[in-house]
Every structure is written in structure tokens, then in C-alpha cells.
Amino acid sequence: MLDSSDQWVAVGNVETSFIKPTLLQCLDDAGDPVFTHDNLTNKDGVTRDVLRMNIDTESQISVLDETQLFEKRTALLDQVTNQLLTVGVISRKHSDINSTHRTAPFLGIDSIGVHLHCYVCQDNTNKPTGVWLAKRAPNKSHHPNFWDPTVAGGQPVDLSLHENIIKEAHEEAGVPSEWLRIDNTTQNDTVLTDHTHHPLTITTAKSDGSCMKRSMYYSFDLQVPIEWRPTAVDGEVSEFKPYSVQDLEDELRHGDSVRPAMRSVLLDFMIRHQLWKGPERELEELRRAMRRKRMVLW
């Protein structure tokens, strides 16, 4: 929440013990603290423990056009990113043009991911018997060599979820774009299902509790021909591997090769296709746990 008079933003609900001391040591260009710790009361009269990010909004920000406003916000966040680098909270900037990507979780900004599960069916049934997983390249900045869904990518501001998955699927796995069209009428045994109306809402943290990252994961499922093989195109994936339903369940229950954040995404795939073994009560509990309501301060 931005307060134009005091020029601060309430980053979000935090636990006092989770605030890494280095965050409170960050200083802006004027030598003032970037983050401060406070207790605020919301409209329902409930007091929340929050972390403020103090930013210089420069009163003219309200009259900037959309492009200028985007650039201004990015510049302000870049200051914070540099401070997080200085005190060692993050190791390096993201390689994207907007290098503030790594700072977002520390500011209570949701991370949005879009995923595609390419699966196969046997014997003319609609029930998946296997799904393709992608092994992250060894040069990835985090969790290299871990396994992901067939396609996994971030969500840019200028594309819809569907437009983005078409782009990501082609770049990462060589999936033909026509297979991902909503009006796909080709006779090639492909079926696209859009599940983005029911995203996962997951909160994770670093092992020391210093960064509560809130993520929203959107998924598409694509039935592909049995003979089709994904192909790594852009270098973000080192290899693809077909997992049988049983192998995937064993991995999710007992293994450690799937990227931690993607375990819930793949579990959700298994549950919605009625592939995960367990009492309905437990399955419903898992569904709810993966879709918790967002805490909104104001």
C-alpha cells in the first residue's frame, strides 16, 4: 500500500523472527533506511506486524504516463536491489532487462509462473499414463539439474497466460504452436486443457526464514501423441524424460530430484487426473492447502 503523504509502502505481513537483520541495514542513496519494522492496523481493526519499504515517490510520479511510470518504478526498485546485493541478501541481479526480478519476493510481490504438462494416454483412454518432465540446465541460477514440468516459465506483463505458454512451450520444448490453440481442430491426437482459472497459491521461504515468497502457479495440460518427443530449443533444459504415473508418484512421495516449488504443481496435475492414491478427504485437504486465500492488509 502506498501512502503519498508519508511516502512509504507496507510490504506485507511478516513474522518478526523472519526479518533478516540485513534487510533493516539497507540504506537508500540519501543514507535513510530502505526497510523499517512496524505494526499497522487494517480497516477491520486488526493489528498486523509489517515490514515497510520506504521509497521516494517524488510527488510528480502521479502525472507520469504509463511508460514513464513503469521506468520510474523500475528505477526505484533498482535502488533496493543494489542494497540487497550490497548486504548479501541476494547474490546477483537477474539477467532480464528488468533486473529487479530477484528483489520482488522481499517486497511482498507475488511471483507468477505458467506451466504446461505434456502427457500421453494409452489404449484410446483419456487417462494419462505418463508425463514428460524437463531437467533444468546446469547453468540455471537456482536449482540446476532439478526436474520441472514439461514447460515452466515466468509471466511477462505484456502477454496473456495463453500467449505466454505458446511462446514458452516452443522455446523450451519445441511444442508446435498449433497444438496450443484454443480452436485446435487438427487431427493429431492433441488435446489442450486450460486450468488457469484455478491457480495454486503457494508461500515458501528460504531455509533461514528470511524471504517469504508468495507464488501463483497457472497450469495447462496437453495430451500429446505417444510418438512425439520434446526438444530442447533455448538451452534452459538439458534433457526431457518420460515419467510413468507410478514413477512420478514415487518421486513426489519419496524422491528429491523435482524442484521443490514444482512438487505441488505436479501433485495438482496428478490429483485433477485422479492419479494420486488416497482417501478423498486427504485429497481435498491437499487441494485446499495448495490454494490458500491471500492475506490482504488493506
Query: Average pLDDT, stretch 79-102?
Result: 69
pLDDT tens digits for range 17-64: 445 556 677 777 677 777 777 777 766 777 766 666 666 555 444 444
Q: Is 7 in a helix, a strand, or coil?
A: coil
In this structure, the number of other CB atoms found within 10 A of the CB of residue 292 comes to: 12
Query: Average pLDDT, stretch 84-108?
Result: 68
Q: Domains of the chain, with CATH numbers? A: 2-107 (no CATH), 111-289 (3.90.79.10)
How far apart, in whole angstroms, are the C-alpha atoms of residue 268 and residue 252? 11
Average pLDDT, the chain: 80
Using DSSP bridges, classify how beta strands 2-3 and 128-136 pair: parallel, antiparallel or unpaired.
unpaired
Q: Measured in Å, how far apart are the chain's first and last C-alpha atoms?
A: 8
Residues 148/134, Cβ–Cβ less than 8 Å: yes
Q: Judge whether residue 11 has pLDDT over 60.
A: no
Q: Among positive and negative, which fits the CA dihedral 158, 163, 165, 167?
A: negative
Q: Whole-prediction pTM value?
A: 0.75
Query: Average pLDDT, stretch 230-252?
Result: 95
pLDDT tens digits for range 118-155: 999 987 778 999 999 999 999 987 899 999 999 999 88
Q: pLDDT confidence of 172, banded at 50, 70, 90?
A: very high
pLDDT tens digits for range 197-217: 999 988 776 665 556 678 899
pLDDT tens digits for range 282-292: 999 999 889 88
At 187 the pLDDT is 55
Instruction: Say what percent of the chain tops pLDDT 70.
Output: 72
